[in-house]
Amino acid sequence: MSQTPPHNQPVTVEARPAPNAQDEFLWRRFSAMLTTVPAALDERVREATGLNHHQFMILSTLAAQPDRTQQLARVAQAADSSLSRLSHTLAKLEAEGLVERRTCDHDRRATWAVLTDKGAAVVAEAAEAYEAVKREVLLDHVPADKRMALATLLTHILPDKVAQQCQEIDSDLT
């Protein structure tokens, strides 16, 4: 495994065998999934909720908290978002009255996202439609006895840091 070289130094790449037909087939299906599924998911969620998937994930993350409040860093983790993208999205959600930002009382550096009553109503009204989207986009295509194996495989594909964050976020499911 090569390390990151100093600036302007050539990168050393380990010699690996060329992909075989099965490897190429897998890569093509993976690439097709990456280019089509997110767009389809975004479209279906927008039809069901009026929000894009990222916006709805933020609202859902907050709705899952007992007090509908969570630190921005944790919301970004759960929504697979950078803090910059989260801030931009929160500004839109705030303008619609769905969330508020509050400064932490005991740590002025920390900011909390708070789901408003209007935001909670959007999540509640869309819950059934969102469950249908999840079934349509993924669950109906994966047999029940294969789902955990697929989830494990997908976790192995994720970068280590993201896989660890997922395990922390998903602790309520185990």
Tell me the CATH number of domain 24-141, given options 1.10.10.10, 2.40.110.10, 3.10.20.30, 1.25.40.10: 1.10.10.10
Among positive and negative, which fits the CA dihedral 51, 39, 129, 147?
negative
Residues 124-135 have a mean pLDDT of 89
pLDDT by residue (tens digit) across 40-98? Answer: 888 988 988 889 999 999 999 999 999 999 999 889 988 888 889 999 999 999 999 99
Determine phi and psi for 102, rounding to 5 degrees. -135, 140
pLDDT (0 to 100) of residue 81: 87
Query: Would you give the end-to-end CA distance of the chain in angstroms?
Result: 34
d(CA 44, CA 42): 6
pLDDT band at 144 (very low <50, low <70, confident <90, very high): very high
d(CA 152, CA 132): 23
pLDDT (0 to 100) of residue 4: 54
Residues 90-114 have a mean pLDDT of 90
3-state SS assignment for residue 111: strand
pTM: 0.76
Among positive and negative, which fits the CA dihedral 76, 93, 115, 131?
negative
Q: Which of 45-54, 99-108, 115-124, 152-161 has the lowest mean pLDDT?
A: 99-108
Q: Fill in the DSSP letter of residue 10.
A: P
pLDDT (0 to 100) of residue 6: 59
